[in-house]
Amino acid sequence: MTFIDLLKSIGIEVPLVIAGSSGAIVLLTKVKNMTRTQRFLVVLSGGLSANYITPLLEKVLGWDDSTHYGLAFLVGYSGMEFVKLLINESLKKVSK
């Protein structure tokens, strides 16, 4: 079993993580006064958020795989704000 196979077995798609992390890196060009640890965590969370949220968004929005990496980049770029938005919208639908 390769390392990539191991990552896939735990639900991590490397291209999505790279796209999301890239979005987070672009976001960091606009943010000042962060420590290295904070910057690392922003990039990591952007990548992991993109990995797990992109397939969900594609299914909910009815989009096809052609938007896969662009959507992952946007999720990584928007960071936790995007996750908060999804949670709030989901809670609104559940409470109706």
Domain ranges (residues) in the chain: 13-94
* Closest by CA position to 44, among listed 67, 17, 14, 65: 17
With 0.85 as the threshold, say if the pTM is over it: no
Query: pLDDT-derived band of residue 18, with 50, 70 and 90 as boundaries?
Result: very high
What pLDDT, on a 0 to 100 scale, did the predictor assign at position 35?
A: 93
Question: Average pLDDT, stretch 20-47?
Answer: 93
d(CA 36, CA 2): 30
Q: Is the pLDDT of residue 43 over 80?
A: yes
